[in-house]
Structure 1
Amino acid sequence: MNFEECLPHMRDVVSCEASLRDISLMWRLIEATARMTCPDGTQGLLSMLAATRQGFESLERDLIASFARQKVANLMVEVGTPARHTIDALVRNLYERTADVGFLATDQVLREFLAGTGERDAEGVTGRLRAYRAKYTVYDAIALLDTEGRVRAAAGSAEGFTHGDHDLVARTLQAEGYVESFGPSKLQPGMQPALVYSQRVLHPSSGQPAGVLCLVFGFATEMAGIFASRHTRNGRANLVVLDGEDRIIASAEPAWMPIGLQVPVSAGEEVSLRTWSGRKYLVQTFAAEGYQGYAGPPGWKAQTMVPLDLAFDTARAGVLDGLEEAVVDGLLSHSAGFCPPLHDIIVAADAVRRVVWNGQVMAPAQQRDERALRTVLEQITDNGSRSDALFSRSIRELADTALAARLSSARFTAQWLVELLDRNLYERANDCRWWALAPELAAALAAGSERARADEATRVLRHINGLYTVYTRLVVYDRSGRIIASSHSMDAHGGGVVGSRIEPDTLSAVLSLPDQQHYHVTPLRPSALYGGQPTWVYHAAIRAPRGGEALGGIGIVFDTAPQLEAMLRGALAGQGDEQAAFVDREGRVLCASDAALAVGGRFDGLPPDMLKLPRGQGAARIVVRDGQYMVLGVSASPGYREFKLCDGYDDQVLAVTLQSLGPVREGRAAARRPQMLTTSRRQGSAPGQEFATFCLGEELFAVRADQVVEAQPSSQVHRLPSVGSSHRVGMLALRRDGLVTRHVSVFDLDALLGGPGTTLSAGGQVVVLRGENFELGLLVSDLHGVWSFTAEQSQHAPWTGDMLPPLVTQLLTADEGRQLIQVLDVQRLREWLSGRAAAARRLTLEAVDLMVE
């Protein structure tokens, strides 16, 4: 994809590009002026200016392209995630339909009716089809056709129709399994398009085709529900479902993109720029991942389409505004992980500040009052401030955009997980009620101890369990709670299931169900039918013929652990740094992708307000948890169709997602860079002395400017093991004209001053100092500036009387006394390090002597 075509529509990126170009031009002018006017001895400054100019030219080419690429990526995370979930939700739903039609086609009542051998007439069979549709509300119509295509019985929108589709009937009669068809259908009013699942019904005696069963899926209703939960109608994007010929078969905004139109698509989930109907669109297409080996109707996919002219017309998300500044700084230190272009900008900003800082300290002290050099240094400072302001603004805006995309993705993933759970369990509630109507099961209970009837019930349960593999077992029990048949007769410990009993509270609830439309679910708790592990078991009453009294019940044992784990794994596919879990309203874990979160234990640290989210609502935020910055997404159970909404069952479940952005930066590593100082002396006062200042967290330190060689990024340090307690972190190569001239040891200033120390991976700067016949480097947090201080602004630092003389011997005041800056004595630092090193050597030798003795 050519991202340059997107640039004119990114106002913030265009503004950044123009500012970069202006600043780059200014660096060229400053470099040219310095070469013409500055005195001898400033070669280091000229080399640094040349490097800066080259760096900005590179930024103009690369940084803006990266910026644009990240903006597109963030946008497509926001609008692409719902599209991915749309096709996966649809395919998982349709997989259940393939199982339904296969099971219902073997229904003994329907087979006998089509064969002309059953007791029920068309009205009785129609009643049975209506009962099925009342439980499986995903179907617009159910129809039973003979081999000539005549409608023999129907429920729903097909009632009153006389003929079905001859071609569909012919194809179904030739197929051994189900047939999936989409297009105009005679089983729909006005020949509306329909998604039909059909399967032949075999004669109960001869085994020859006796007719065809058709399940007309409520495709339009289902897509309306999916779009309602995933599509934001803000006019910036549309979500569509396409067939194998790339024609729209469902549209979240049909007035904008009507059904039937053919649209361009992208390949392999790549973001593409396509022109359609005279307008350019960012397009991303998703095929289904498939479920249980079922890939969905051939060629079907979901697609998001965003008009290029509206794609980036959004307000700033404001994510960072709600965070503590220490957290913001800590997050930015991990920018390479969650937003590489942001990391590039931060590195560039550091480079600019380092150039300005180095430029101010490189000029010989005796030449600082020369007009030409002083003018160049002022221009470096001024242009550096402009660069710093530009980068600071860009850093915050891009970080805000990248984190907003992460939050959006987390919220959608949590929503997808809990919706996936409700959709799955909806089918379980339907299954138990429908299978309770099987005549064979009622006959087994009515027959009492008759072995043949129990064997027939067992055969039926095994057939069902073979089609519906999400169940560990299905059982039938009588009014006393004794299990008389099971699809799997042995439990996990080798004991028999048949003959054992259902829990008394469950039995009482099942026998009290008012009619065949009601069901009972055991709470998620350990069950003997599931090897003593927690599970949900769905129950329905099995009644005497014609809806009489309850003879007992059927229990279907959901294979909870692997099914929930599969949902979590599927939602987190390809995201190794993300965790997910299902929890209840009290925060107790139902299932988790992290083995450390035990089922039944508490998911600590969830904000109370997120545990109380209203039904169907989701939220996401950035939190600090387990020493990590994390994106937390939570969504509450929405229910599905009538399930958990108006069917008398309410089991609130929350889905939780966690994605790490990196470890917490504590103390000085996450502190903010201090503001610029006000140190200008009064007119006519004595000349001051210049000090180079740098940061250690929020604290300011200084050394005399003439004691500074240069500053380099800490990434250039070659790590070495620390010797004794000298706090040496490595070696740094010093270069001139691109060639290494010498190496200096680098010491951790924070550790030297008694702090916890700074890791090189956390970033930072190395200030190279010089004294009498030595050079060394100090690892610090950041550079600050070069300032002139008068004698009135300086005072001796108090000494606490420690055994070692202090490294800080002087204090400087700035900002009218509001800011104190600690001045390091470079010579004393050298002596202090030499003493510590000697002590370390003595301790080592003493330890060796003791070992020899």
Structure 2
Amino acid sequence: MHKQPLTDDLTSHFKQVNDFHSSISQLQHAWDSLALLAQLSGTGSEMEHTRSAFNTISNDVLKHLSQETLRKTAAQLSSKAFEIINLLVRNLFERTADIGFFATDDDVRDYLSQYMQDTLSDEQQDAMHFRFEEYQKKYTVYENIVLFDSQGQLIHQLDASQNTLDHFDPIVALAQQSTAPYIERFYQSEVNGHTYKSLIYAHEVRSRDGRKPLGVLCLCFKFVNELDTIFHNLISESDWSVGVLLDEQRNVIASSDIYQIPLGATICAEPDQDWFISRFSGREYLCVTKRSEGYQGYLGPGWLGQAMIPLEHAFHHTMRDMVAHIDSEILHKVMRSPLIFSDSLLSIPKQAASIQSKLNQSVWNGNIWQSNYVDTQQKNFSKTLLCEISNTGHKTQQIIEQMVSELYQTVVSVMLENSSFCAQMAVDIMDRNLYERANDVRWWALTHDFRERLGQNQVSDDDKLKMTEVLEYINNLYTVYDNLIVFDRQGEVMAVSNHRYNHLLGMHLQDEWAGRTRSCLSTQDYVVSAFEKTPLYNDECTYIYAAPIRHLDNNSIVGGIAIVFDSKPQFQAMLKDVVPRDGDDAPVTGSFTVFVNEQLSVISSTHQAITIGEDFELMPAISKLKEGEQLFDIAIYQNTYYAVGAHASYGYREYKGPQDSYRNKVVALIFTPLGKVDEINHRIRAESQLIHNKFNPNLFLQYGQDTQEYATFYVADTWMGIETRYVREAVDEDQLLTLPEAAPFIAGMHAYRNEVIPVIDLARMLGHEHYFTDYRQIVVIEDKNTSLKFGLFVSALGEIPYLSPNQIQPMNALFKGVSHNPGVAVANIAQSSMLTLVTAQSLWNKALTVRTAGQEEQVMV
């Protein structure tokens, strides 16, 4: 598929993206002002790197968010365009079989033969009309049935008010000359000033021996009605999308909104592109065009399905509403999945945190410089400015994190929506397919041969053979059935279409559905078995559709016909056709689909571990779904998170409709993998050990007469502080040289300016032997009175508050005998925040004490 680039004209419609862009722009202005003030005041804080790094990440996230925003809308349009054309083609495939079968109907043949001999009676005319009526009652997708003689004269039609076809219509000659199994033609004409459309299927009718042409039969498909049904189920009233069907010349032959895209208009269509922008009637649309995938070799009339939406309404959806009901903890975990997000996307929050840590170091060092070298009046202003710089960094980081969260939620919501849509398509395909089964069984129950032979007092072996031949002929045309069975009024099997089931001949059917068949009151009634194991399907689970066979006088039931749906391969084919697909239109690896009935028993599954007939316990909430309702959620199955879309069946036309006594709610579930549970948990655990941005910009206690400034930092989760007069600055650890025979708590030597200083690993000294950080820093400590100078490894930097003596409590008495704790005091700050205060000498003494103890142990050994 051709990938189109994003353009400024298109991205100007991304409301959420533009809102974020506006927030980032406002912060950039704030950075400009702060940079100027910092330069004028001499704070010692360098911000240019921070501004540039934040800007780079922001632009990167906005780019990804724009792409995913477009992808989400394009995916929605793609699904709709796909369903428009593929549902129609699936329907039309059934029509191609109908016309071939109906053209061999003995009643039709006999009628034409009598007509050619000019011996038709009024009763025969009425009988033919009744025959057509019965067919149309079963197959309600047809609006008219038309019969021509061999010369092209129209001699009978079900609806005489229609004038789509008339005497000597060209379709008659086409059918007579063709050796194809059907002729398919689209008619568009004016009827009472309105455009009238019909899709006609035609086939020549020949004598029973096949030698003599008798006429041509035409079935007129309810084209407008069918497209209205598809559009209604596909596009809600609040949806700005427009669905259209295009012919080979790109002319609109059906539209869900004729006021936006009128019939007959020629519009742009690009089936080889993922999406495109088209202008029509002064308005710009985002569009997706789809060709038919075909069904069992039938590709349809060559039409295209297209979905389009005005650009001004294309990107107004929000993600939060869609994922609001999903467990927040599970959603958070899924949003750290390397299966659906690249490492570059997953690392963005970490990059932003690292940038903020670098900014914190600059601000922290600026505070240290102000504390040690600037007078008090200027110091207060500078510290306030530095605090605002840190605040602005935090705000920038938060905006980036919000954008990343929106990006993650957009990606996940696309997968949830796609699963939900595929589930709807699955039940739609299933109901449409089973609608045909209900039609078939009622129509075949009216077969003259069956009614005549079963109506006799004694059914001979020759009668059984003739009925078997008819069943075989039907089954060869309609391969979705494993077997067709005719039984008499006592339930004895008279004939089967599949010779593998000859052992059923003579058996008396005792099944509950067989008994109900004899209770049907009209030719419109039918029964369906429960989905259960049956010897009629090799002891596997399936549905059996049955209808009564009535005497030719219509006064009594003389038997019945049962059609055994070949459920295993047929349901599998339906589910495989709706499996989620990736950007290259290939099935998503690891995805699977399931049909579950109202009793939460599996009807079909594409997952090997989920077997037919087993209880489905994974998502019990589906039992509460009413007909036509849907849900989507995230579920865990076999150590994998899945986006799950579920949709309950809602019938098709009159099948399972208000007037149909048959009810059977089936739920389709589509599972799209989101990532391995163990892999995601491992990543989250690793990320939780990374310590970033402990800097609290809101913790700033004002200078007082007796106050003293303390530089604070974090070692793992321990908050510690030291008087600023002992601190030179915080530096990166990139020049640290490790020493193989150093004391346990000496991490190595660090080149600091023109000196080499030892670095204490304070985390190990405090008992935090294993801690991680992407941005570990060294705080350089110096006591000028003793010429002591060394470095401390710290996890993150904290604030530099003013503390008064009454906030500080000595710890010496509390920690007597505790050799590993270098603390000399604690300070209570900001309610429950506890700060451990140390001195340079106490830290160094503790390191030396441990080293001496270690050497003594070695001597004793």
Q: Judge same fold: TM > 0.5, yes or no.
A: yes
Aligned to 2:95: 97
Match of 2:355 among 345, 348, 352: 352
Structure 1 residues 524 and 283, CA, compared in 2 at 3 Å: closer, same or farther? Answer: same
Give the match's secondary structure for 1:337. coil
Aligned to 2:314: 311
Aligned to 2:605: 592
Aligned to 1:717: none
Aligned to 1:498: 505
Residue 129 (1) aligns with residue 128 (2):
no
Give the match's secondary structure for 1:353. helix
Rounded Cα–Cα distance in structure 1 between residues aligned with 2:317 and 2:491: 61
Structure 1 residues 517 and 801, CA, compared in 2 at 3 Å: closer, same or farther? Answer: farther
Rounded Cα–Cα distance in structure 2 between residues aligned with 1:162 and 1:57: 68
Structure 1 residues 321 and 103, CA, compared in 2 at 3 Å: closer, same or farther? Answer: closer
Aligned to 1:516: 523
Structure 1 residues 670 and 515, CA, compared in 2 at 3 Å: closer, same or farther? Answer: farther
Match of 1:552 among 550, 559, 562: 559
1:706 deviation in Å? 7.9
Structure 1 residues 161 and 27, CA, compared in 2 at 3 Å: closer, same or farther? Answer: closer
Q: Which amino acid aligns with 2:609?
A: A
Moved more, 545-554 or 238-247: 545-554
Match of 1:687 among 681, 686, 708: 708
Structure 1 residues 192 and 324, CA, compared in 2 at 3 Å: closer, same or farther? Answer: closer
Residue 477 (1) aligns with residue 510 (2):
no
Match of 2:544 among 537, 553, 556: 537
Q: Which amino acid aligns with 2:202?
A: S
Rounded Cα–Cα distance in structure 1 between residues aligned with 2:845 and 2:778: 12
Rounded Cα–Cα distance in structure 2 between residues aligned with 1:279 and 1:765: 51
1:147 deviation in Å? 2.5
Q: Which amino acid aligns with 1:81?
A: S
Residue 618 (1) aligns with residue 630 (2):
yes
Rounded Cα–Cα distance in structure 2 between residues aligned with 1:820 and 1:198: 88
User: Deviation per CA, 1:147-181, whole angstroms, max 9, x where unpaired?
Assistant: 33322222246679983561111112111221111
Rounded Cα–Cα distance in structure 2 between residues aligned with 1:800 and 1:653: 69
Structure 1 residues 59 and 426, CA, compared in 2 at 3 Å: closer, same or farther? Answer: same
Match of 1:459 among 452, 469, 472: 469
Rounded Cα–Cα distance in structure 2 between residues aligned with 1:531 and 1:138: 33
Residue 576 (1) aligns with residue 589 (2):
yes
Q: Which amino acid aligns with 2:68?
A: Q
- Contact 1:444–1:456 (CA under 8 A) maintained in structure 2: no
| TM-score calculated relative to the size of structure 2 | 0.79
Aligned to 2:755: none
Aligned to 2:786: none
User: Deviation per CA, 1:587-619, whole angstroms, max 9, x where unpaired?
Assistant: 2222222222222223224253x4222211222
Rounded Cα–Cα distance in structure 2 between residues aligned with 1:798 and 1:170: 111
Aligned to 2:241: 237
Structure 1 residues 66 and 163, CA, compared in 2 at 3 Å: closer, same or farther? Answer: same
Residue 818 (1) aligns with residue 832 (2):
yes
Q: Which amino acid aligns with 1:213?
A: L
- Contact 1:242–1:249 (CA under 8 A) maintained in structure 2: yes
The root-mean-square deviation of aligned C-alpha atoms, in Å, is: 4.6
- Contact 1:542–1:551 (CA under 8 A) maintained in structure 2: yes
Q: Which amino acid aligns with 1:65?
A: K
Moved more, 271-280 or 348-357: 348-357
Give the match's secondary structure for 2:450. helix
Aligned to 1:720: none
Give the match's secondary structure for 1:496. helix
1:88 deviation in Å? 1.5
Moved more, 679-688 or 635-644: 679-688
Residue 431 (1) aligns with residue 440 (2):
yes
Moved more, 583-592 or 681-690: 681-690
Structure 1 residues 334 and 125, CA, compared in 2 at 3 Å: closer, same or farther? Answer: same
Aligned to 1:109: 107
- Contact 1:542–1:550 (CA under 8 A) maintained in structure 2: yes
Moved more, 367-376 or 458-467: 367-376
Match of 2:174 among 160, 168, 171: 171
Instruction: After TM superposition, list the pairs within 5 Å mapping 1:784-799 onto structure 2.
Output: 785-788=798-801, 790=803, 792=807
1:423 deviation in Å? 0.9
Aligned to 1:846: none
Residue 196 (1) aligns with residue 225 (2):
no
Structure 1 residues 323 and 111, CA, compared in 2 at 3 Å: closer, same or farther? Answer: closer
1:66 deviation in Å? 2.7
Aligned to 1:641: 653
Give the match's secondary structure for 2:416. helix
- Contact 1:283–1:305 (CA under 8 A) maintained in structure 2: yes
Q: Which amino acid aligns with 1:516?
A: T
Moved more, 170-179 or 21-30: 21-30
Give the match's secondary structure for 2:500. coil
Moved more, 480-489 or 284-293: 480-489
Structure 1 residues 815 and 231, CA, compared in 2 at 3 Å: closer, same or farther? Answer: farther
Rounded Cα–Cα distance in structure 2 between residues aligned with 1:568 and 1:451: 42
Structure 1 residues 677 and 4, CA, compared in 2 at 3 Å: closer, same or farther? Answer: closer
Q: Greater Rg, structure 1 or structure 2?
A: 2
| TM-score calculated relative to the size of structure 1 | 0.80
- Contact 1:163–1:186 (CA under 8 A) maintained in structure 2: no
1:500 deviation in Å? 3.6
Structure 1 residues 497 and 261, CA, compared in 2 at 3 Å: closer, same or farther? Answer: same
Q: Which amino acid aligns with 2:463?
A: R
- Contact 2:733–2:776 (CA under 8 A) maintained in structure 1: yes
Rounded Cα–Cα distance in structure 1 between residues aligned with 2:821 and 2:333: 29
Unaligned ranges ≥5, structure 2: 582-586, 735-743, 753-758, 782-788, 856-861
User: Deviation per CA, 1:810-846, whole angstroms, max 9, x where unpaired?
Assistant: 9977763334579999999999999xx99xxxxxxxx
Structure 1 residues 59 and 3, CA, compared in 2 at 3 Å: closer, same or farther? Answer: farther
Rounded Cα–Cα distance in structure 2 between residues aligned with 1:536 and 1:435: 17
Aligned to 1:382: 391
Instruction: After TM superposition, list the pairs within 5 Å mapping 1:13-24 onto structure 2.
Output: 13-24=17-28
Rounded Cα–Cα distance in structure 2 between residues aligned with 1:570 and 1:55: 46
1:304 deviation in Å? 1.3
Moved more, 396-405 or 518-527: 396-405
Aligned to 2:299: 295
Rounded Cα–Cα distance in structure 2 between residues aligned with 1:569 and 1:812: 66
Instruction: After TM superposition, list the pairs within 5 Å mapping 1:25-40 onto structure 2.
Output: none
Aligned to 1:654: 667
Rounded Cα–Cα distance in structure 2 between residues aligned with 1:85 and 1:24: 46
Structure 1 residues 785 and 273, CA, compared in 2 at 3 Å: closer, same or farther? Answer: farther
Moved more, 88-97 or 362-371: 362-371
Give the match's secondary structure for 1:15. helix
Give the match's secondary structure for 2:422. helix
- Contact 2:113–2:214 (CA under 8 A) maintained in structure 1: yes
Residue 9 (1) aligns with residue 13 (2):
yes
Structure 1 residues 207 and 186, CA, compared in 2 at 3 Å: closer, same or farther? Answer: farther
Q: Which amino acid aligns with 1:174?
A: Q
Instruction: After TM superposition, list the pairs within 5 Å mapping 1:834-853 onto structure 2.
Output: none
Q: Which amino acid aligns with 1:68?
A: S
Rounded Cα–Cα distance in structure 2 between residues aligned with 1:829 and 1:212: 105
- Contact 2:85–2:304 (CA under 8 A) maintained in structure 1: yes
Q: Which amino acid aligns with 2:603?
A: L
Instruction: After TM superposition, list the pairs within 5 Å mapping 1:746-757 onto structure 2.
Output: none
1:87 deviation in Å? 1.7
- Contact 2:182–2:202 (CA under 8 A) maintained in structure 1: yes
